Every structure is written in structure tokens, then in C-alpha cells.
Structure 1
């Protein structure tokens, strides 16, 4: 039986448009890692976000708008790992091992790896998303270039991309020792 609030015992919550929008974007991002961008629908997002179906179209007029916001959210999550890379580069004697360790931790996070590959795959089909997909690679190269030069930095970034796809296809990351040996070799290769 409804109480005085008219909600069956639950107190009415204040409207939180930004919170609802954020919930919709986060739900869409989660779904993209599970069903891909082609499987994303307003109905699936509304169910995952636990909002009325009309809310998804209220905040995002088209599915393309919602997809782009979700991809931006995924890119922002992936970018958080760049702070770890910056920290690893503080001590060049331990930088290769620290970078390998950070990469290994990232590759063990199935959700982040799925987000990264979903973002990459989506950017192949939608050139408007390409800059989001390339942002991590380009920033990693920029960070590393200051310490090991652009050629080596690019080689490390390409290796990291390959290690990511390896983790997706094999459903587990490369061994930490393999990552460390490869990154150390790339750091110290002749210029």
C-alpha cells in the first residue's frame, strides 16, 4: 500500500538529471564491452541503467549519440592507466619492469581490455571515433618519447597494442616475465 509519498514505502528521490545521464552512459559502456556497438539498443541500455526507456532518448536523441558518449566514457577509463605510465617513467632504471607490471595489471582486467578492444573495433567502422581510440596510443608514445625517443616509444606502444589483442584472443595476458623482457629489449634497442 502506498505511503504518504505515494511510492509504496520508498521515499521519493530528488531529480538528478546528471546522475541519470551518467547511469545511462555507464550502462551503454558496459553493454558495448559485452555485446559490441552493433548490439547496443536504447532498450538494453534502459534496462541496464534501470531507467525508463524514454530517458535514453531524452538524453540522447539518437543511438549514435549514445554510442559516442559511451565510447568517450570508455576512452576516459582507459586513459586512467596513463597516470601509471607517467609514474613508472620517474626512475629509468626500473621503468621497463614498472611499465611491464602496469601493462600486466591492465591486461588482467578483463573489463578494461574488453573496453579497449570495443573502442578500437568501433573506430574501425566509425572514423569519428578514431581519435578516441588513438588517444591512448598517441599519449603513450608522447610520454615514452621524452625518455627513450620516438622510435622506441612507438615500438613499445605497438607491442602494448599487440599484447592487448593477445589477451583478448587467448583470454589471458602474457606472462609478466615475457612482458618485462620484451619491454626491456624495446627500451634498450639501438636507436
Structure 2
């Protein structure tokens, strides 16, 4: 007969290794945007993900492996914004205003701006991560070059990087009208 002072065992949770790994990576990505990649520890990640400390080392043998997976996750999130750029470029007559509007929405998302900034900063200190950071810039230039030429596309991408750092350092992003005027000028500037 069971002892009434012992609680009955509840239903066992199903193992979800892929879900646990994803939670660890997402927690690490969040922490990188908050404390930088240098401040990342297995203990911080486990706490944020709500998993035992050993889980972080079970899925990621080293802190560098975990850091790289988290930065890759951040880069993938940033890549999603490029899909919007591709859409805005379908109509050249409205492209500068549409791009400025989409960019303004991106800049208003503090988490994405922090992720972008963290990824860029991490790549300055770790050349192996540089390709992750440059992926956004290079792809933006490639998308825009087909419509406005490489020089103008590069100017827009450099402006976008500067506007992103501005948003990371200030409480508000640049005004959408300012973004529209500047992007329009960069799109139409004579060579």
C-alpha cells in the first residue's frame, strides 16, 4: 500500500532533445544581446533556458560551440529581414519609401537591433564569426545592386549600419521621414 505522505508521481514529461537544444540556443542568443558574447557562460544559459547546467554541455561541448550556435541563430533572425528588402525592391517607384518604412520597423525592435549589434561586435573580436556579421551587409548590397548599382547599394548598406548603431545607442531610432529622405537620396544620387 502506498505511503500517503509520499506524493504520487505525476505524468512523465516527454523528452524533446531538439526542443531543449533550441531553448539553449535561444537563451544564449538572448544573453549575447544583453551581456555580449564574452559574458556568456554555461550557467547563465542554463538559468535562462530553465534547464539543468549539464544540458548545456551535453548539447555543446564547449562554450565556443554554444556561442557560435547562438550567433548563427542571431544571424538567421537578421536574415529574415532581408526577405522584406527583396519584397520592397519589386516596385522601383516605391522602393525607397517602402525600404525606409520596413527599416524603421526593424530599428524599433530593440531585440533585433541588439542582436545585430552584438553580432557585429562579436565579429570584430573573433574573425571566425566575421562571415556571420558580413552576411547581412553583403546580401543587402547584392539585393540592392541589381536595382541601383553597387556604389549606391553600398552607400545604403553603410547608412543602414550607421542607423542601426544609432538605434542601439539611443532610445529612439531615426525618424521614418529622415530615413525615407536619406534612402531616396542615396537611391537617386548621381554616380
Further displaced range: 32-41 or 113-122: 32-41
* Shift of residue 2, structure 1, vs aligned partner: 3.0
Shift of 1:171: 2.2
Q: TM-score, normalised by structure 2?
A: 0.96
* Structure 1 residues 170-181: aligned runs within 5 Å: 170-181=170-181
Q: Does 1:126 align with 2:126?
A: yes
In the other structure, the counterpart of 2:57 is 57
Structure 2 partner of 1:2: 7
- Structure 2 regions of 5+ residues with no counterpart? 1-5
**Structure 2 residue aligned with 1:104:** 104
1:79 maps to 2:79: yes
1:108 deviates by: 0.1
Q: Partner of 2:144 in structure 1?
A: 144
Q: Deviations over 1:98-131 (max 9, x none)?
A: 0000110000000000000000000000001000
Matched, 1:162 2:162: yes
The Cα shift of 1:187 comes to: 0.1
Provide the C-alpha distance between the structure 2 equivalents of 1:177 and 1:78, rounded to a whole number of angstroms.
Answer: 23
Question: Residue 114 in 1 paired to residue 98 in 2?
Answer: no
Give me the CA root mean square deviation: 0.8
How many residue pairs end up in the alignment? 186
Deviation at 1:170, TM superposition (A): 1.4
SS at match of 2:37: coil
Which segments of structure 1 move beyond 2 Å, counting only runs of 4 or more? none
Q: 1: CA distance between counterparts of 2:67 and 2:84? A: 28
Query: CA–CA distance in 1 between the matches of 2:12 and 2:43?
Result: 24
Q: Look up the match of 2:22.
A: 22
TM-score when scaled to structure 1?
A: 0.96
CA-to-aligned-CA distance 1:39-76 (integer Å, 9 cap, x gap): 11000100111110000001101101000000000000
- C-alpha separation in 2, matches of 1:188 and 1:169: 29
Structure 1, gaps ≥5 residues long:
none
